Amino acid sequence: MDDDIPYLLLTPGPLTTSRTVREAMMRDYCTWDNDYNSLVNEIRSRLVGLASDDEAAYTAVLMQGSGTFAVEATVGSVLPPTGKLLVLVNGAYGRRIAEIAARLQIEHVIMEQSETESTDPAAVAEMLQRDATITHVAMVHCETTTGMLNPVAAVGERVKAAGKTFIVDAMSSFGGLPMTMESVHADYLIASANKCIQGTPGFGFIIADRQKITETSGWARSLSLDLHGQWDEMEQKGGKWRFTSPTHIVRAFQQALDELDQEGGVTARSQRYQSNQNLLVKGMRQIGFRTLLEDNLQSPIITAFHYPEDEKFSFIKFYEALKERRFVIYPGKVTGAETFRIGNIGHVFPEDIEQLLLAVQAVTADVHW
């Protein structure tokens, strides 16, 4: 753990970043400057390169705001006025997509499953066969409500077979798990600067089928979140954003991409995350905590744990005691169980997880609930 940070963020994002990523923000840029806009275009190209070998078929758009801004920009821009969205829900972030569709008055239908139940590809195929008016399907890859890793490739195969457009919220998986646009059959893939690529918060990005996004001109339900408008500006004006961009965050993201390459790419990063998660679960179980999900459903991104059976357990006291020891965890978000969550993405390594486990052991032995 870096000595210059007050604590380690074991959360789904924002994440603990490297010192060099933070230092990259110590320079000002002009949003009209060619050097800055060239940097933006470099990032766009590198993102496409991470997502596909066919860089002519795909393009990338950066969008100011949190990851949800990028999700809303996509949902609100790529469905035509006569479109209908199927939203696959088994957690809070799938429900958020449905809420976005409702707020934007987009016709939609929800297929909802339990938060501890994986999305069923066969049920999706049946739904698409039953309702021919559906034009688009949206799902969350890693549902950080629970840590669930949904079968995005199998679902995408059914969506493509039905001739529908597939929107993948890969917020907490892209850059941390090996995937391509082709392998998950995505037309639009959405993620954020401050997740597995390990940048800082400030913008999201959308990797899109170039032909598909070209067809969406005039469909946006928002001015500032007009995905086609932002893409067209970047295409026509050498990487320029339509409105003020988060210049310092963009530079930090470029550094984060460099550090992803230095680590060995997505495969190497995925292996580190998996090592972190394996160590975490093994250690927490030895201490006496139970995971919410079965191992075969669990992502290496974040893990939900049941509260201990002690009725006097206080998450706030547990949280504060760990924070005093430099570890910040996350509250639960599951509707049907009392849980807390521990993430292991970001600039976090197995030795950090080992230190966390020692802290959890000490806290559970010392704290009087």
* DSSP secondary structure code for residue 268 in this structure: H
What pLDDT, on the 0 to 100 scale, is given for residue 69?
98
> Is 70 exceeded by the pLDDT of residue 367?
no
Same domain, 102 and 218: yes
What pLDDT, on the 0 to 100 scale, is given for residue 5?
65
Instruction: Flag whether 160 is in a domain.
Output: yes
Average pLDDT over residues 148-168: 98
What pLDDT, on the 0 to 100 scale, is given for residue 366?
78
Backbone angles phi, psi at 186, to 5 degrees: -85, 140
Same domain, 279 and 360: yes
Residue 231: C-alpha distances to residues 41, 60, 136 (Å): 11, 8, 20
Last residue of a domain, one of 261, 292, 309: 261
> Is 90 exceeded by the pLDDT of residue 301?
yes
**How would residue 247 be classed by pLDDT, with cut points 50, 70 and 90?**
very high
Same domain, 242 and 359: no
What pLDDT, on the 0 to 100 scale, is given for residue 173?
97
Residue 46: give the domain boundaries.
Answer: 19-261
β-strands 188-192, 203-209 pairing? antiparallel
Average pLDDT over residues 267-289: 98
Are 162 and 38 in contact by the 8 Å Cβ rule? The answer is no
> Is 60 exceeded by the pLDDT of residue 274?
yes
Report the chain's mean pLDDT, rounded to a whole number. Answer: 96
* DSSP secondary structure code for residue 296 in this structure: G
> Is 80 exceeded by the pLDDT of residue 2?
no
> Is 80 exceeded by the pLDDT of residue 369?
no
CA distance 226 to 236: 15
What pLDDT, on the 0 to 100 scale, is given for residue 314?
93
Looking at the structure of the chain, the number of domains it has is: 2
> Is 70 exceeded by the pLDDT of residue 55?
yes
Same domain, 308 and 191: no
Closest CA to 26 of 204, 251, 257: 251
Last residue of a domain, one of 261, 276, 295: 261
Same domain, 206 and 298: no
Average pLDDT over residues 51-66: 96
Same domain, 166 and 298: no
What pLDDT, on the 0 to 100 scale, is given for residue 26?
96
> Is 80 exceeded by the pLDDT of residue 4?
no
Same domain, 74 and 136: yes
Residue 115: C-alpha distances to residues 89, 126, 238, 326 (Å): 8, 21, 43, 30
Last residue of a domain, one of 261, 289, 313: 261
> Is 60 exceeded by the pLDDT of residue 75?
yes
CA distance 179 to 153: 9
Instruction: Flag whether 3 is in a domain.
Output: no
Same domain, 190 and 79: yes
Q: How far apart are the first and last CA of the chain?
A: 29
Average pLDDT over residues 80-93: 97
Instruction: Flag whether 2 is in a domain.
Output: no
CA atoms within 13 A on the CB side of 212: 25
Output the domain CATH number for residue 359: 3.90.1150.10
Average pLDDT over residues 122-141: 98
CA distance 279 to 275: 6
Same domain, 184 and 197: yes
Output the domain CATH number for residue 153: 3.40.640.10
- What does the pLDDT look like over 316-340, one tens digit per residue? 999 999 999 999 999 998 988 999 9
Same domain, 224 and 305: no
CA distance 12 to 33: 34
Same domain, 268 and 234: no
Instruction: Flag whether 1 is in a domain.
Output: no
Same domain, 186 and 254: yes
